Amino acid sequence: MPGIHIINAHFASPNEVSDFDRKTFEQFLKIITKNAKIISLEKATQMIIDKQTSSGKVFVALTFDDGFEECHSVIAPLLEKYECKGAFFINANFIDSTTEYQNEFNKRVKIFTKKPMSWEQVKDLHNRGHLIGSHNLDHLNMADLNEDELEFQLKENKKILENRLDYNCNYFAWTYGQMQHFSEKALQITNQYHDFVYSGTNYKKYFSMNNKVINRRQIEPFWSKKHINYFLSINKVY
C-alpha cells in the first residue's frame, strides 16, 4: 500500500553469517525494491512529519539496531549495491567492548555469538553516509531505570557518539521497542537529547505517544518473504 514504512532489523543472520545469509539479505533487498523505493530514515522521517504520503508510492526505510559487526561487513555493502542508505542504532559501550561485556550484552539481547562493530567500522559507516543513531549506552530496559539512570544512559551515549563521529546525534530508538519498555518520563528525558524517537511497535500507525514517537516494525531479513509482503500491504494511518 502507498505509504512510508520503517523496518527495524538487527542482523543478516542469527548465527555466523554464511554466503547463504548474504544471498538471503540481498534477496530481501530485491523483494523490497521490487515493490517499493528504499529511502533514508532522515527522508522517511521528514516525509512522515510533513504528511507527504499522498504520492501513491510505497517508501521503505531500513534501520538496524544493536551495532553488530555484520552491519559493517555484510549489510552496508549490500545496501550500497542497491544505492541505499541504512540507519544504525548503536549502544556505545558495546563497541570495542571486552568479551565479558559482550557476553552480558548478548544475554540482554538474547543472542549467543555476535561481536560488535569497532569504532573504526562505526566511523566508516558514518563517513559513507549511513545514519548512526543512539540506542542507549548499555542496551538496558528503560522501564527498569530511575530518572538519574535514564539521564545517564541517554546523555552518555549521545556524548560518546558525538565525540567519536563529530556530528549531532538527533535520532534515538529505544531498546526492546515495545510500549511497556518506555514511559512518558523516559520520553520527556529522551526529548531533551534527541529530536526524533522511534519505537518498534504500533506499525499500522505512523505515530505513538502524542505524535512524539515514530513507529517502526520489526522484520528480520531472513524471515519468510510473506512477512515483508504482508507488512508492505498495511494501509498506514496517522
**Rounded least distance, CB 68 to Zn ion, Å:** 10
Between 13 and 175, CB nearer to Zn ion: 175
**Rounded least distance, CB 154 to Zn ion, Å:** 15
**Rounded least distance, CB 197 to Zn ion, Å:** 14
Single out the segment in contact with Zn ion by CB under 5 A; choices: 58-66, 73-81, 94-102, 192-200: 58-66
Between 22 and 114, CB nearer to Zn ion: 114
Other CB atoms closer than 10 Å to residue 212's CB: what's the count?
Answer: 14
Closest of 96, 201, 176, 87 to residue 133, by C-alpha: 87
Between 59 and 171, CB nearer to Zn ion: 171
* 70 touches Zn ion (CB under 5 A): no
CA distance 82 to 26: 9
Q: Which of 21, 65, 70, 138 binds Zn ion (CB under 5 A)?
A: 65
Q: Which three cell numbers stand for residue 165?
A: 563521529
Cβ-based burial of 62 (10 A; exposed 0-12, middle 13-18, buried ≥19)? buried
Identify whether the C-beta of residue 25 lies closer than 8 Å to the C-beta of residue 12.
yes
Site for Zn ion in 168-207 (CB under 5 A): 175
Between 59 and 105, CB nearer to Zn ion: 105
Q: Please, where are the H alpha helices in 118-198?
A: 119-127, 147-165, 184-193
Between 5 and 135, CB nearer to Zn ion: 135
Identify whether the C-beta of residue 215 lies closer than 8 Å to the C-beta of residue 173.
no
Between 65 and 70, CB nearer to Zn ion: 65
Single out the segment in contact with Zn ion by CB under 5 A; choices: 18-26, 61-69, 79-87, 151-159: 61-69
Q: Which amino acid is residue 155, in one-letter code?
A: K
**Rounded least distance, CB 86 to Zn ion, Å:** 15
Residues in contact with Zn ion, counted by CB under 5 A, come to a total of 3
The neighbouring-strand residues paired with 172 are 134, 197
Identify whether the C-beta of residue 145 lies closer than 8 Å to the C-beta of residue 153.
yes
Q: Which of 8, 64, 66, 122 binds Zn ion (CB under 5 A)?
A: 66
Q: Which three cell numbers stand for residue 232?
A: 508492505
Residue ranges binding Zn ion (CB under 5 A): 65-66, 175
